[in-house]
Amino acid sequence: MSKLIVWTYDWVPEGPRGFVRDIRLRWACEEAGLDYAVHTVPFDERGPDHLAHQPFAQVPFLSDGEVELFESGAGLLHLARKSEKLMPRDPAGEAQTLQWTIAALNSIEMVSVPWWFLEVTGAQENNLAGWLESRLDHMERIFTEREWLVADRFTVADLLMADVLRVAKLRAFGNRPAAEAYVARITDRPAFRKARADQLAHFAAGDKKRAAKA
Amino acid sequence: MSKLIVWTYDWVPEGPRGFVRDIRLRWACEEAGLDYAVHTVPFDERGPDHLAHQPFAQVPFLSDGEVELFESGAGLLHLARKSEKLMPRDPAGEAQTLQWTIAALNSIEMVSVPWWFLEVTGAQENNLAGWLESRLDHMERIFTEREWLVADRFTVADLLMADVLRVAKLRAFGNRPAAEAYVARITDRPAFRKARADQLAHFAAGDKKRAAKA
């Protein structure tokens, strides 16, 4: 029996497939060679049972034996402490992995996700565009200077930053070749490709179960 | 000489005083009784020197001997590992502190800060209001059920969540008595009051230096 369990929905609509955040935890487990299983909660019914595990009625959450935690970023930092493949073990490497993981969540995604929300909800104006451009410009400078965010190696911070940036649809904001090359390189890793294929297969299987039930 | 150094601006305008995020690191150090000093970078000039420490041209950042890290959330998690007063030492307590710290950054602040940004930049419509209300409703349920986010004690997750929620100006979104009582209780702690008073005094001293220079 796997000790690590990644919890996600049993099904989601086409749109978010390949982007549901369980992909972050699958990807990290694949990178680190950690044994894990994927379990599901119903997409359609998110009552008190779901809220007891994830208080904002979202996924993923992660079980690790007696410990359970929600927030994909928290799950990544939890997994990072299990494997040197995800985070160096020296104090400076740990601190830098932590800072860039939080930067992806609170300096980039804090702007890119609401920007995207305004786009898809058809806001008349998107006042977050300038702010997002400025953040992406700062990242472009970083990626021009270095190949990885931390030291000279892949960490969970690259995993998260690449996932955040691929969702932010860089191309909507002009030519940022260093950032585009970074995202292309990180998402070409076998562990990401497997995690993405597994998520797509998981939700395709959900289609069949849903059709059988209907 | 203090080993821990909280870096902030030498001066900021009136508006953000009491809210500049160095307050989070000051507060955590005060709670834990950690020896720290506050050093400054110029508010007016944020060139390559500043960007080398904080790539988005912001503050705070934290020095801890050889280690340096930006992102207030990362600084809080770094400090939390130094003192049991900020985070329990058992695996479940650590995981819960991590998940709620990330939740404050990526589930609440990811909505509340852009919502606030649209408010202050005079957007014609604020399409983030419904999303923010939903997130605050979830938190209201949580605070109705419990006094602290983690176990039965104060942690750095409460510190951050209270700071995030006081900025989100709960009152703008109707009556949420449990959340309001939570924020009032956490921000009445002596460590917060000292951190806030120290920040206000710091920027007031900045006024005088600025006047002398002009």
DSSP single-letter state for residue A168: T
The SS3 of residue A55 is coil
The answer to whether residue A1 scores a pLDDT higher than 60 is no
Mutation to test the B interface, candidates A62, A69, A82, A145, most B Cβ within 10 Å: A69
Question: What pLDDT is recorded for position A70?
Answer: 98
* A78–B98 C-beta distance less than 8 A: yes
Mutation to test the B interface, candidates A78, A97, A99, A119, most B Cβ within 10 Å: A99
Among candidates A81, A84, A56, A57, which has minimal Cα distance to A67? A81
Min Cα–Cα distance to chain A from B145, Å: 11
| Among B70, B91, B107, beta carbon nearest to A67 | B91
| Among B55, B110, B124, beta carbon nearest to A142 | B55
Tokens standing for residue B61: 């950042």
CB atoms within 10 A of CB B144: 13
Q: Say if residues A88 and A151 touch (Cβ distance below 8 Å).
A: yes
pLDDT mean across residues, chain A: 95
| Among A78, A118, A138, beta carbon nearest to B127 | A118
* B124–A99 C-beta distance less than 8 A: no
Question: What pLDDT is recorded for position A175?
Answer: 86
Least reliable range by pLDDT among B12-16, B36-40, B124-128: B124-128
The answer to whether residue A2 scores a pLDDT higher than 70 is no
Is the four-CA dihedral B198, B164, B185, A69 of positive or negative sign? Answer: negative
Mutation to test the B interface, candidates A66, A71, A113, most B Cβ within 10 Å: A71
- In chain A, the largest separation of any two C-alpha atoms, in whole Å, equals 54
Query: How many angstroms separate the CA atoms of B162 and B158, rounded?
Result: 6
Question: What pLDDT is recorded for position A61?
Answer: 98
For residue A161, the surrounding DSSP H or E stretch is helix A156-167
Half-sphere exposure of A193 (CA within 13 A, CB side): 6
Mutation to test the A interface, candidates B72, B127, B155, most A Cβ within 10 Å: B127
- Per-residue DSSP letters for B97-155? HHHHHHHIIIIIHHHHHHHHHHHHTT-S--TTHHHHHHHHHHHHHHHHH-SSSBTTB--
How far, in Å, are A143, A181, B53, B115 from residue B48 at the CA level?
15, 24, 9, 30
Q: Which residues 6+ apart lie within 8 Å of B187 measured at CB?
A: B162, B163, B166, B193
* B66–A107 C-beta distance less than 8 A: no
What residue ranges define each of the domains in chain B, with the CATH number in brackets? 4-84+191-213 (3.40.30.10), 91-189 (1.20.1050.10)
**Is B155 buried (19+), middle (13-18) or exposed (0-12) by CB count in 10 A?**
buried
Min Cα–Cα distance to chain B from A179, Å: 15
| Amino acid (one-letter) located at B56 | F
Question: What pLDDT is recorded for position A189?
Answer: 98
Question: What pLDDT is recorded for position B212?
Answer: 92
Q: Say if residues B78 and B64 touch (Cβ distance below 8 Å).
A: yes
Average pLDDT over residues A13-35: 97
pLDDT digits (tens, 9 = 90+) for B19-64: 999 999 999 999 999 999 999 999 999 999 999 999 999 999 999 9
Q: Say if residues A68 and B95 touch (Cβ distance below 8 Å).
A: yes
Question: What pLDDT is recorded for position A152?
Answer: 93
Where are any strands of DSSP class E within chain A? 4-9, 36-41, 61-64, 67-70
Q: What are phi and psi of A143, to 5 degrees?
A: -75, -20
Min Cα–Cα distance to chain A from B95, Å: 6
The answer to whether residue A183 scores a pLDDT higher than 90 is yes
Residue with the bigger pLDDT between B2 and A185: it is A185
Question: What pLDDT is recorded for position B205?
Answer: 97
Q: Say if residues B104 and B164 touch (Cβ distance below 8 Å).
A: yes
**Cβ contacts of A55 on chain B, cutoff 8 Å:** 103, 138-139, 141-142
Query: How many angstroms separate the CA atoms of B175 and B22, rounded?
Result: 30
Min Cα–Cα distance to chain A from B131, Å: 10
Least reliable range by pLDDT among A50-64, A92-106, B172-186: B172-186
Percent of chain A with pLDDT over 70: 98
* A78–B95 C-beta distance less than 8 A: yes
| Amino acid (one-letter) located at B178 | A
CB pairs under 8 A between A and B: 134
Q: Say if residues B23 and B60 touch (Cβ distance below 8 Å).
A: no
Question: What pLDDT is recorded for position A168?
Answer: 77
Is residue A171 very low, low, confident or very high in pLDDT (cuts 50, 70, 90)?
Answer: low
Question: What pLDDT is recorded for position B185?
Answer: 97
Is residue B173 very low, low, confident or very high in pLDDT (cuts 50, 70, 90)?
Answer: confident
Average pLDDT over residues A47-57: 95
Is the four-CA dihedral A202, A203, A208, A213 of positive or negative sign? Answer: positive
Least reliable range by pLDDT among A85-89, B77-81, B111-115, B117-121: B117-121
Average pLDDT over residues B180-205: 97
Q: Say if residues A164 and A203 touch (Cβ distance below 8 Å).
A: no
* A70–B103 C-beta distance less than 8 A: yes
- In chain B, the largest separation of any two C-alpha atoms, in whole Å, equals 54
Query: How many angstroms separate the CA atoms of A48 and A54, rounded?
Result: 10
The answer to whether residue A60 scores a pLDDT higher than 70 is yes
Query: How many angstroms separate the CA atoms of B22 and B26, rounded?
Result: 6
Query: How many angstroms separate the CA atoms of A8 and B72, rounded?
Result: 29
Average pLDDT over residues A186-190: 98
Question: What pLDDT is recorded for position B93?
Answer: 97
**Cβ contacts of A110 on chain B, cutoff 8 Å:** 105-106, 109-110, 113-114
Is residue A31 very low, low, confident or very high in pLDDT (cuts 50, 70, 90)?
Answer: very high
Question: What pLDDT is recorded for position B207?
Answer: 94
- Do strands A4-9 and A36-41 pair parallel, antiparallel, or not at all (unpaired)? parallel
Min Cα–Cα distance to chain A from B4, Å: 14
Query: How many angstroms separate the CA atoms of B90 and A65, rounded?
Result: 14
The SS3 of residue A63 is strand
Half-sphere exposure of A14 (CA within 13 A, CB side): 0
